[in-house]
Amino acid sequence: MVTVEELFATDVLLSEDEREIRDTVAAFAARRLRPHIADWFEAGTFPARELAPELGELGLLGMHLEGYGCAGTSATTYGLACQELEAVDSGIRSMVSVQGSLAMTAIYEFGSEEQKQQWLPELAAGRAIGCFGLTEPDFGSNPGGMRTRAKRDGADWVLNGAKMWITNGSVSDVAVVWAQTEDEGKQVIRGFLVPAGTPGFTAREMHRKLSLRASVTAELDFDDVRLPADAVLPGSRGLASPLACLSEARFGIVFGALGAARECLASTIEYARTREVFDKPLAAYQLTQAKLADMALEFGKGQLLALHIGRLKDRGVVTPEQVSAGKLNSTREAIAIARECRTILGANGITLDYPVLRHANNLESVLTYEGTAEVHQLVLGRALTDANAFR
Ligand code: FAD
């Protein structure tokens, strides 16, 4: 008997270093995260403050960035780490993605040297938590329409508006907030660093979620928030700046979502081998095997695509369209796998005793954030036809 990973022997495509780091993350996840995840999910909590320093110590926060206390690993290694975290729960990978690929990457790419020195080592160590506020109540797929505004008042900036669905939002020490500004009469989107506790800035955790329950999601409000001149990320200019960060986070999902799929498959195969129906194990029926074979095939193809995209990124030649293709494929196939696994588990599949429905529910969010599946279809459609079908 082989595991779905062994079936495709994808490990031979990894270096010894990559395997070692991946196995270290897997061991941490097995010891520190997996035993608690069902309880966190059921309670709708995530101990972000407690876990952040541990994730920092492992080098997982801003893992692929260089300097400022970051580990400076390859992109593929970062992807593999995301996969191990998301095998436990998409909420944990979300926390790490938002901290490293969104908040830290925004500061790393567009921040001043002072901003980098102030925030990156703290965020890398998990002594501070960051979030990334782009989405608004009325603007998700079309963030360019955002209403949040930062206006000059003397040397200061005054920020007004609201952000919604912000991961880590109410536990963050610093929020990277995207706002419209005016520059010589033209509207330009720029990033601002807003520390927690700044007067006029409030963050409220959102509840009643049926997906990513083990993840902090918040609404951010900015009511005449006065910020010093140096709160702006000086290198940020236009929507391309937040979109560049999103492409980084999406890359982690290309690998991560497959971790959720892998976990569903492993637990389902184990279940099917021991569950007896009509006097023999469920795994011995052709219908079950057809389902398992098809799911394993999609997992294997997804893993090969993820590794290919990882290698392209490590060579510095990956395109946003390739990352879109990977994100679309991994999330779409992972959610299909999670749902099909649920059918094999029957009634047991709807409980938190097995990871499948928790993963399927989480993957609803993963399919939607960092660009919905439809948005990535439009990205690929535009690349293939040169016709923009967004509007
Ligand atoms: P909409 O944009 O309203 O889309 C609704 C539907 O319309 C979708 O099916 C979409 O694909 C479709 N659609 C949109 N445009 C088109 C089109 N042109 N043609 C055809 N169909 C279209 N945002 C942040 O900024 N920071 C975060 O940390 C963050 N964390 C999140 C955490 C969670 C748990 C969730 C659920 C969301 C998070 N988001 C975050 C927000 C997320 O990025 C948005 O939900 C996403 O961009 C989609 O926006 P929307 O929900 O407004 O959907």
Residues 6+ apart with CB under 8 A from 377: 328
Residue 390 inside a domain? The answer is no
- Is the pLDDT assigned to residue 184 strictly greater than 80? no
Facing residues of 183 across strands? 186
What is the token pair recorded at 343?
């059918």
Helices (H), 58-155: 75-88, 90-97, 105-110, 113-125
Cβ of residue 144 lying under 6 Å from some atom of ligand 1: no
Residue with tokens 């998700």: 140
Is residue 32 located within the same domain as residue 75?
A: yes
Is residue 328 located within the same domain as residue 343?
A: yes
Total count of residues recorded for the chain:
391
Residue 331 pLDDT: 98
Average pLDDT, the chain: 97
Residue 63 pLDDT: 97
In whole angstroms, what is the distance from residue 225 CA to residue 203 CA?
A: 13
Cβ of residue 249 lying under 6 Å from some atom of ligand 1: no
Calculated CA dihedral for residues 362, 365, 370, 372, nearest 10 degrees:
130
Residue 19 inside a domain? The answer is yes
| Mean pLDDT computed over 332-341 | 98
Provide the CATH number for the domain around residue 328.
Answer: 1.20.140.10
Q: Are 220 and 166 in contact (CB under 8 A)?
A: yes
In whole angstroms, what is the distance from residue 90 CA to residue 83 CA?
A: 9
What range does the domain containing 152 cover?
131-237
In whole angstroms, what is the distance from residue 301 CA to residue 189 CA?
A: 38
Cβ of residue 71 lying under 6 Å from some atom of ligand 1: no
In whole angstroms, what is the distance from residue 231 CA to residue 370 CA?
A: 25
- Is the pLDDT assigned to residue 342 strictly greater than 80? yes
% of the chain at pLDDT higher than 90: 99
Segment 65-120, tens digit of pLDDT: 999 999 999 999 999 999 999 999 999 999 999 999 999 999 999 999 999 999 99
* ∠ CA 228-232-237, rounded to 5°: 155
Closest CA to 257 of 132, 90, 375, 386: 90
What is the token pair recorded at 28?
């941490």
Q: Which of 222, 237, 252 is the last residue of a domain?
A: 237
Ligand 1 pocket test target in 135, 177, 358 with most atoms within 8 Å of CB: 135
Residues 6+ apart with CB under 8 A from 362: 89, 90, 91, 211, 212, 260
Cβ of residue 165 lying under 6 Å from some atom of ligand 1: yes
Is residue 123 located within the same domain as residue 135?
A: no
Residue 236 Cα, ligand 1 centroid: separation in angstroms?
22
Q: Which of 108, 129, 150 is the last residue of a domain?
A: 129
* Residue 202 dihedral angles phi and psi, to the nearest 5°: -125, 145
Is residue 192 located within the same domain as residue 149?
A: yes
Provide the CATH number for the domain around residue 221.
Answer: 2.40.110.10
Query: Which ligand 1 atom is nearest residue 167's CA?
Result: 28
| Mean pLDDT computed over 179-186 | 88
- Is the pLDDT assigned to residue 183 strictly greater than 80? no
ipTM of the complex as predicted: 0.99
Is residue 175 located within the same domain as residue 257?
A: no
Residue 50 inside a domain? The answer is yes
Segment 227-253, tens digit of pLDDT: 999 999 999 999 999 999 999 999 999
Is residue 69 located within the same domain as residue 23?
A: yes
Q: Report which protein residue has its CA nearest ligand 1's atom 53.
A: 140
Q: How many domains does the chain have?
A: 3
Q: Are 253 and 85 in contact (CB under 8 A)?
A: no
Residue 391 inside a domain? The answer is no
In whole angstroms, what is the distance from residue 109 CA to residue 112 CA?
A: 9
Residue 260 inside a domain? The answer is yes
Beta strands in 70-212 (DSSP E): 130-133, 149-153, 156-167, 174-183, 186-195, 201-205
Residue 187 inside a domain? The answer is yes
Segment 260-285, tens digit of pLDDT: 999 999 999 999 999 999 999 999 99
Residue 269 inside a domain? The answer is yes
Is residue 180 located within the same domain as residue 146?
A: yes
Could you list the active site residues?
370
Residue 152 inside a domain? The answer is yes
Q: Which of 82, 104, 129 is the last residue of a domain?
A: 129
Query: Which ligand 1 atom is nearest residue 133's CA?
Result: 25
Provide the CATH number for the domain around residue 8.
Answer: 1.10.540.10
Q: Are 138 and 188 in contact (CB under 8 A)?
A: no
Is residue 277 located within the same domain as residue 358?
A: yes
Ligand 1 pocket test target in 99, 372, 390 with most atoms within 8 Å of CB: 372
Q: Is the pTM of this model over 0.90?
A: yes
